[in-house]
Amino acid sequence: MHHLIIGAGPAGVRAAEALRAYDPQAKITLIDGEGEAPYSRMAIPYFLSGKIGEQGTWLHRPLEFYAENGIDLVRGRAAKVDAGTKTVTLEDGQSLSYDKLLLASGARAVNPPVEGLEGDLVHHCWTIDDARAIEKLAGKGARVTLMGAGFIGSIILEALVMRGADLTVVEIEDRMVPRMLDETAGNMLKAWCEKKGVKVLTSTRIGGVYEGGGELNIALSNGETLKADLLVVAAGVTPNIECMDGTGVEKRTGVVVNARMETSLPDVWAAGDCAEGCDFSTGDLSTLAIQPVAVEQAVIAAKNMAGIEAEYHCALPMNVLETLGLVTTSFGKHDGLEEGARATLLDADEWRYIRLEFNDGKLIGAQTVGHVSMAGCLRGLIQGRMPLGPWEDVLKTQPHRVAEAYVDLSRGVS
C-alpha cells in the first residue's frame, strides 16, 4: 500500500503522521513544494517579530522525524494528477504512482486587481520565503504599507510593528478583520492599533502602486499618496488545485469533499485549505482555511485511507488573534441569524467586549475582545449543540458568564 500526500503543510504532515500510526506497514510519501523543512505558516509572524528563528516554525523538530518514521519527503510541485493511471506528475517531470492519494496542497496568497503589485518592494506574507524578503526590507524605521486588515494582515501587523517599521494599514472594508469581527469589535481593534501608533485607514482602497527612485508611491482612493519602502499584500488566498485539472473532480472554490474527506474520484481524498467541505455554521460547503480544520480533516482523511471509518462533524469557523496585546476571538455564526437572539456586553474603557448569538435555545456564534480565559468553551457550547436551558436567560443579560454556563451544563452540577 502506497499513500501519496501532495503538500507538506500542517494537513499533509498531520495526515502522514496519522497514517504511520494507523497503517504501520504502508509506504508513505510526502511531496513538499517549497523545498523547506515542513513548517507552519501560522508561526511566520513570530519568526518576523524575532521571537523564534526559522527552526521555530518547523512542524517537527528534529527534521529526522520523517526518515525515522518511514515518511519519504520528495521535493517538487505536483503538476498533474491522473486518477485513471493513479499517478502524479511533478513539475520536474518525475512521476509517482499511488494506491491512495491525499490532496493537501493548501492555498496561496493572491493579488487583487491593482496595478503595480509585481515589483521587488511588494511581497505577500504567506511563505517562509516571503518572510525572509520582508525581514530584509522591514527594518527599524522602514516605511511599510500593509494592504488588508483581515485575519492574516492583522496577525502580520504586530510583527511589523515589533520590527520597528513605520506602519500604515489600508483596508477596503469599514473596520478591521471584517469577516471575523462586527463593527464594534473591528473598530475597537482599529482604535487600539491607532493608540499603539499604527495608522489604520479603513474604507480605503489602494488604486495603484508605482515604483520610482527605490521607493513606492501608493495611490489611495482618498486622494492621498503614501510613500513606502515595502508593501505587504494580505488580500486573501486561493486553493492550489490546478493539478486536478482534467481529472473531472468535483470542485467549487476548493475540491469538494464529503464527511470522510473523499473527493468525487476513487482513492483520492483532500484536506485543509484546498478542500471544500461541510461548514458547521451554514450547512453549506466552504473552504475555511484555518489550522484546526486543516489538521482535523487530515486525521479523518488518514483514518479513512487506512481503512478506519471516520466522519468529520463539519468545520466550525473560528479564529483567535492577538494584535499588539489585544486578544480577539470569533466562533461559528458570529454575526448571528435574523430569527435568533443576541447578547452583547461592552466595556470600552477596559477594551473588553463579548457578543453571543443564540438560536433555538443554543449558542450558535460568539466573538470576544480582551478576554483570554477559557475561550475554548465557546467551541464546546456551539459545536456540542448544548441546550442552554436556564442559562440562556442568564447569558442574555450576563454574557461574560459563558464559561460558568459551560462547566455547569457539561459537568451536570444541576
Partner 1 sequence: MDKALVIDVGKCTGCRQCELACSYEHTGTFNPARSRITVFDFHEKARFVPYTCTQCDQAWCQQVCPVGAISNENGVKVVDAATCVGCKVCTIACPFGTVNYEPASGKVIKCDLCGGDPACARACPTEAIVFADVAVQGFEKMRAWAEKTDTAPQASA
Chain residues binding partner 1 by CB under 8 A are 10, 14, 40-43, 46, 51-52, 56-61, 291-292, 295-296, 299-300, 303, 308, 310-313, 318-320, 322, 327, 329, 331, 372-380, 383-386, 403-404, 406-408, 410-414
- Let me know if 243 is exposed, middle or buried by CB neighbors in 10 A (0-12, 13-18, 19+): buried
Give least dist CB 346 to partner 1, A.
21
Instruction: State the angle between helix axes of 376-383 and 402-411 in degrees (0 to 180), rounded to the nearest 10.
Output: 50
Give least dist CB 96 to partner 1, A.
27
C-alpha cell at 60: 517537527
Q: Reduced to 3 states, what is the DSSP secondary structure of residue 378? A: helix
Give least dist CB 351 to partner 1, A.
13
Please state whether beta strands 206-212 and 215-220 pair in parallel, antiparallel, or not at all (unpaired). antiparallel
Give least dist CB 225 to partner 1, A.
36
- Give the nearer residue to partner 1 in terms of CB position, either 286 or 328: 328
- Give the nearer residue to partner 1 in terms of CB position, either 122 or 300: 300
User: For residues 66 and 192, what is the distance between their CA atoms, to the nearest angstrom?
Assistant: 43
β-partners of residue 352 are 347
Give least dist CB 200 to partner 1, A.
22
Give least dist CB 248 to partner 1, A.
29
- Give the nearer residue to partner 1 in terms of CB position, either 348 or 407: 407
Evaluate whether 209 touches 117 at the Cβ level (below 8 Å): yes
Conformational region of residue 349, where left means phi above 0, alpha means psi within -120 to 50, and beta covers everything else: alpha
Residues 148/150/154/160 CA torsion (nearest 10 deg): -30
- Give the nearer residue to partner 1 in terms of CB position, either 135 or 211: 135
- Give the nearer residue to partner 1 in terms of CB position, either 16 or 295: 295
- Give the nearer residue to partner 1 in terms of CB position, either 224 or 308: 308
- Give the nearer residue to partner 1 in terms of CB position, either 126 or 331: 331
- Give the nearer residue to partner 1 in terms of CB position, either 127 or 247: 127
- Give the nearer residue to partner 1 in terms of CB position, either 248 or 390: 390
Q: Reduced to 3 states, what is the DSSP secondary structure of residue 319? A: strand
User: For residues 398 and 405, what is the distance between their CA atoms, to the nearest angstrom?
Assistant: 11
Give least dist CB 386 to partner 1, A.
7
User: For residues 305 and 21, what is the distance between their CA atoms, to the nearest angstrom?
Assistant: 12
Give the C-alpha distances (Å, rounded to integers) separating 75 from 33, 37, 92, 127, 286.
Answer: 6, 10, 10, 16, 30
- Give the nearer residue to partner 1 in terms of CB position, either 42 or 79: 42
Q: Which of 180, 122, 191 is nearest to 155 (CA)?
A: 180
Q: Which residue has the cell 485511507?
A: 305
Q: Cα angle at 308 between 303 and 314, to 5 degrees?
A: 55
Give least dist CB 253 to partner 1, A.
22
Give least dist CB 218 to partner 1, A.
30
Buried b / exposed e across 344-366, counting CB within 10 Å, b at 16+?
eeeeeeebbbbbbbbeeebbbbb
Give least dist CB 159 to partner 1, A.
11
Evaluate whether 37 touches 43 at the Cβ level (below 8 Å): no
Give least dist CB 414 to partner 1, A.
7
3-state helix/strand/coil string of 179-202: CCCCHHHHHHHHHHHHHCCCEEEC
- Give the nearer residue to partner 1 in terms of CB position, either 142 or 278: 278
